[in-house]
Chains A and B, each alone.
Chain A
Amino acid sequence: MELQERLADYAAHNVAVFAISYDSIDVLHGFTEKYGIAFPLLSDAGSVAIRRLGHLSRQFAEDHANFGAAYPATYILDADGIIVEKRIAESERERETAAGILEARFGGHSSAHGSEVVIPGDQVAIRAYLDSPTYRMAQRLRLIVDVSVADGWHVYGEPVPDGYVPFSVTVGPLTGLTVGPLVAPEPHPFSVDGLDEQFVVHEGLIRCVVPLTFAESAGDLTVQAQIRFQACSTSECLMPTTLSVELSVRMLIHVERQS
């Protein structure tokens, strides 16, 4: 059970974890014994709290055996109990990885994230990694690209004047893989004396994230990405650079549930 494996990370970041379902205490107890769960699994048999919180799944009709199940979601609460982030599965089948939640929200570095590539460079250094070493069907992972731009240098965001190459991350096609849009910090305006063009640039440390959804169980895979950019200072521009990274990810077989 993936969340259980990451529990040590959550505890290290002083984050309490709870899970809520409409299962009976007996079912949850059996699951706990079988998988060694070390955090509270709350039993909302009868779906009273699930209904009260507006979380009743609409996937099942009232006469269906699974009616009463919760719509899957994750809530992140700050130290005062205020919801600061909320992730509702885009479809009921899509799930985050626990490592990804830890990484994205708490700024924590999961101790067991996926494969990583580091490319040093004098002006621009790159660290690219997947936020989980494994995937399951319908799971969303993140490709994280940490970019370190040397002082006095910058790379370009968009829109970019003709002749300049903006920062981009392109992920190659894979069976069942849906690649979401790159999420990067806002670039800031930048002007250079003597040049009329308006630029927007990234400087310093930048974290970019590409969401990847694995729609199918397609075996162990290698995610290929091309990172392209052009590094310039106020006095010179280097040639545009394309870096290729390959990051492996293992497929997890769906865990057998007790009947």
Chain B
Amino acid sequence: MTTPSDDTQASHERIGPAIGERFPDVVLPDQYGAQIDVHAARGQRPALIIFYRSARW
């Protein structure tokens, strides 16, 4: 089933920042080596931020 059990739901919610919080400041290099400050780069726009495991495997 797609609906997680209560235990699973609780442990998932502990992962990462919470809804309602400002997404933390993240400054990391992009694929060209340019330093990207996520909030600065998105400007006044809404954003989609994806954590994924790897581009390699």
Contacts and interface: CB of A to CB of B under 8 A. Distances in A.
A140 B30 CA distance: 28
A180 interface: yes
Interface in A41-80: 41-44, 49-50, 52-55, 57, 66, 69-80
17 contacts: A15-B45, A16-B48, A18-B48, A22-B54, A28-B31, A37-B31, A42-B29, A52-B24, A72-B53, A74-B50, A75-B23, A75-B50, A77-B47, A82-B20, A86-B17, A257-B54, A257-B57
A88 B8 CA distance: 11
A3 interface: yes
Contacts of A25: 29-33
A12 B49 CA distance: 17
Contacts of B30: 25, 28, 40-43
Interface string B4-42: 100010001111111111111010111111001011011
Interface residues of B, number: 45
B2 A84 contact: no
| Most chain A Cβ neighbours within 10 Å, of B41, B48, B54 | B48
B56 A23 contact: yes
Contacts of B52: 19-21, 70, 72
**Is the interface on chain A under 10, 10 to 19, 20 to 34, or 35 or more residues?**
35 or more
A79 B14 contact: no
Contact of A14 (B20, B26, B33, B46): B46
Main secondary structure of the interface of A (DSSP, over half): mixed
Contacts of A76: 46-48
Interface of B: 1-4, 8, 12-24, 26, 28-33, 36, 38-39, 41-57
B44 to A, nearest CB: 5
A44 B23 CA distance: 16
A79 B29 contact: no
A181 B3 contact: yes
A190 interface: no
B55 A79 contact: no
Contacts of B44: 79
B20 to A, nearest CB: 7
Contacts of B46: 14-16, 76-79, 106
Contacts of B1: 178, 180
A82 B18 CA distance: 10
A101 B47 CA distance: 11
Contact of B53 (A27, A31, A57, A181): A57
With a 10 A CB-CB cut-off, give which of A3, A17, A71, A88 has the most chain B CB atoms: A88
Nearest to B32: A29
A31 to B, nearest CB: 4
A41 B49 CA distance: 10
A83 interface: yes
